Amino acid sequence: MTGIDDVDYRILELLMDDARRSYRDIAEEVGRSPPTVSERVERLTEVGVIERFTLDVDRSRLVEGPTVLVDLAVQPGSEATVVEDLTDAPAVEHVIRTVDAAVVFVAHANERDVEELLSETLGDERVREYRVRLVSDRTWEPRLDEETLAIECVVCGKSVEGSDESVALGDRTYEVCCSSCASEIKDQYDALQQAASE
């Protein structure tokens, strides 16, 4: 089974609004039974559409250390590893990679601590240039767009609706549109495993 239908969509909306809402409530809202809701939520999580259940905290109410926004120009080709290393750094919260070899990230640190973070975590070879700005405010509005309706094939981007291929690799399941894309992703995964074990 694959693709998101109206029921899934509505479940996502309801959980976005209150992630602790009971499955009974949701079941009533969407006209299904609690076990069905439970099962769908599980599937949505497995497929990766639901990344996590989380909390939205009003940081303006808390006395916090400074938050900075860092704009980073990296050595072309090193974007992927930079994103990976930054994500693992404890002070770093949000990492955004753009197509022009830039990586923007939000971290909880002093402006001057960033230098240390960059040289220690990334090393000078991968960083070309950077700019640090103090963050004064942040907002996040989780929302689904109206058009948001189908899952797309992780390989080719086509809609996955109707097909029934999924590939379990490591601890994740990937939805694909056809068997050709399925073997494509399997090959990629194997190559990565190979590389990692050498």
Site for DNA in 24-63 (CB under 7 A): 24-25, 31-36, 38-40
| Residue 194 Cα distances to 61, 85, 152, 188, angstroms | 48, 20, 27, 10
- Which residue is associated with the tokens 């250390």? 65
* Cα–Cα distance, 34 to 176 (Å, whole number): 28
Q: How many Å apart are CA 46 and CA 53, to the nearest integer?
A: 13
Could you tell me the maximum CA-CA distance found in the chain, to the nearest angstrom?
57
Residue whose pair of structure tokens reads 């980073």 in the numeric block: 72
C-alpha distances out from residue 198 to 39, 145, 169, 194, Å: 39, 43, 19, 7
| By the rule CB under 7 A, 149 interacts with DNA | no
Cα–Cα distance between 15 and 89 in angstroms, integer?
29
Shortest gap between Cβ of 74 and DNA (angstroms)?
41
Give the range of 23-31, 49-57, 110-118, 175-183 binding DNA by CB under 7 A. Answer: 23-31
The residue (of 22 and 148) whose beta carbon lies closer to DNA is: 22
Instruction: Return the one option of a second copy, DNA, none that residue 178 interacts with (CB less than 5 to 8 A, by type).
Output: none
Among 11, 15, 23, 117, binds DNA (CB under 7 A): 23
Q: Is 7 in the site for DNA (CB under 7 A)?
A: yes
Q: Which two tokens stand for residue 1?
A: 């089974």
Q: Which does 81 bind (CB under 5 to 8 A by kind): a second copy, DNA, none?
A: none
* Chosen from DNA, a second copy, none, partner binding at 185 (C-beta under 5 to 8 Å by type): none
Nearer to DNA, 1 or 195 (CB): 1
Q: Is 166 in the site for DNA (CB under 7 A)?
A: no
Nearest distance in Å: CB 41, DNA: 7
Residues lying near DNA in the complex (CB under 7 A) are found at: 1, 7, 22-25, 31-36, 38-40
